[in-house]
Amino acid sequence: MKPRLYRLLSAQITAILLCSFFIVSMSLITPVYGQTLATKTLKAELIVKQINRTGKLAFKRTLTLSFKSSGYLSQLNIDEGESFTKGQLLAQLDSTELIAEKNASYAHLLQAKRDVKRIKTLLSKNLSSQQALDDGKTLLLTTRASYKVALYNLSKAQLRAPFDGVLVKLFTELGELQSPNQGALQLAAIENNLVVRVALTAAEVKLVKLQQKISVNLTGFSAISGTVSKIPAIADQQSHLFTIEIFLKNIKSNQVVVGQLARITTDITTDSLAYRLPIEALNSVDSQGRALIMVLVSHSTEAEHYQQQAFVIKQLSNTYIYLSAKKSALPLTVVTLGWQQLVLAKEPPLDAAK
């Protein structure tokens, strides 16, 4: 009785073990689609590139003032970094000689007027000639012009602010001899005169257009919208970079520190088509640098086999990977999660897009 019972138990145990082995074997072969398997259908779209660069805040334009006449600097009412208002007297030359020249020119002008008047009186009595009157009038015009020049030179012995602004640089000091070709003060307007200068590579500068809106981050401000106002035609000879200017409207220089760093950010849509995949969908990279992605085979159902295909990588970021696509490319269904569980197709990787 006991041997028969042992034989029955042994047979049952053997059957259970065989069944368990079969189930385990099948589970190793058949993909488990019910476990964290996610797919996503993608369409070819234009690549959007993001430019993140750091530049410096600067004045868009500056103005260098100089004296029209020669002379010694006798008055200086401003220093570097100080603000001024339109019409304010900034600097002045010693005008002793200029005043003397003006007075002398005025005396000559009065004499010329008297001479013309006297000649007219004599001519009415036939005691002078028309030639003498013409010469007198010519002399009057000449002395009047000389007097105007003397007045102009005297007025230019002063430097007055042409606008509300700030003194950027001082090129002279009190007592120094000034000449007409020598710069004295460098000024900058405080309104609508701020730009951010940013250096871009040749590939990046091709994507930027004039009047394009760009986000600028400055210390003490929220994101500011700037406009591209200048794109150079040639690169810097030393850095080989292109320095663009981003104009900041309605920001005064007394609200910020000129020279401080500024961060710019912009998204630019290119003309290149690509599939944009989450980085999690990337299986690996082959020896040719192509991305291996698990995709759903065309004209198949989700229950059938998936296939690993190779794609040319156009762009890679921390979040997305961009795969090359053609204009006529069809939508692509890829596995974004759970691709590790799928059985790889036996066919060699295909170039889905070049």
CATH code assigned at 297: 2.40.420.20
Residues 181 and 103 in one domain: yes
The mean pLDDT value for 108-129 works out to 91
Q: How confident is the model at residue 20 (pLDDT cuts 50, 70, 90)?
A: very low
Residues 258 and 349 in one domain: no
- Which CATH number does the domain housing residue 70 bear? 2.40.50.100
In a domain, 340, yes or no: yes
* Least-confidence region, from 64-68, 142-146, 291-295, 342-346: 342-346
What's the pLDDT score for residue 278? 92
More confident residue, 49 or 241: 241
Distances (CA, A) of 97 to 66, 70, 72, 153: 18, 10, 11, 11
Place of tokens 């500024």: 262
Residue that finishes a domain, picked among 242, 271, 300: 271
Q: How confident is the model at residue 32 (pLDDT cuts 50, 70, 90)?
A: very low
Q: Exposed, middle or buried, 147 (CB in 10 Å: 0-12/13-18/19+)?
A: buried
Q: How confident is the model at residue 11 (pLDDT cuts 50, 70, 90)?
A: low
Q: Exposed, middle or buried, 91 (CB in 10 Å: 0-12/13-18/19+)?
A: buried
Which one-letter amino acid corresponds to residue 163?
A: F
What's the pLDDT score for residue 47? 84
Structure tokens given for 235: 């690169």
Q: Which of 85, 71, 69 is nearest to 155 (CA)?
A: 69
More confident residue, 65 or 223: 65
In a domain, 85, yes or no: yes
Residues 283 and 323 in one domain: yes
Residues 248 and 277 in one domain: no
Q: Which of 162, 198, 156 is nearest to 69 (CA)?
A: 156
Residues 231 and 310 in one domain: no
Residue that finishes a domain, picked among 144, 172, 188: 188
| Residue-range definition of the domain harbouring residue 156 | 64-188
* Least-confidence region, from 160-164, 196-200, 244-248, 267-271: 267-271
Sign for the CA dihedral angle at 235, 239, 241, 243 comes to: negative
Residues 168 and 284 in one domain: no
Residues 158 and 267 in one domain: no
What's the pLDDT score for residue 114? 94
Residues 168 and 75 in one domain: yes
pLDDT at residue 29 is higher than 70:
no
Q: How confident is the model at residue 66 (pLDDT cuts 50, 70, 90)?
A: very high
What's the pLDDT score for residue 302? 55
Residues 285 and 323 in one domain: yes
Residues 94 and 232 in one domain: no
What's the pLDDT score for residue 7? 54
Residues 179 and 105 in one domain: yes
pLDDT tens track for 273-330: 899 999 999 998 989 999 999 888 766 655 466 888 899 998 888 888 999 988 888 8
What's the pLDDT score for residue 300? 61
Residue that finishes a domain, picked among 188, 210, 232: 188
Q: How confident is the model at residue 1 (pLDDT cuts 50, 70, 90)?
A: very low
| Mean pLDDT, rounded, of the chain | 84
In a domain, 20, yes or no: no
Structural domains in the chain (count): 3
In a domain, 180, yes or no: yes
- Residue 260's CB is within 10 A of a number of other CB atoms, namely 13
pLDDT at residue 80 is higher than 70:
yes
In a domain, 132, yes or no: yes
CA torsion, ordered 122, 124, 129, 131, to nearest 10 deg: 100
Q: What angle, rounded to 10 degrees, do the helices at 130-155 and 96-124 form? A: 160
Distance, in Å, from the CA atom of 239 to the CA atom of 150, rounded to the nearest integer, reads 50
Residues 37 and 141 in one domain: no
pLDDT at residue 199 is higher than 60:
yes
248-254: long-range contacts (C-beta < 8 A, 24 or more apart)? Answer: 248/57, 248/194, 248/195, 248/196, 248/216, 248/224, 249/192, 250/192, 251/194, 251/224, 252/190, 252/191, 252/194, 253/59, 253/166, 253/188, 253/190, 253/193, 253/194, 254/83, 254/166, 254/190
Structure tokens given for 99: 């005043």
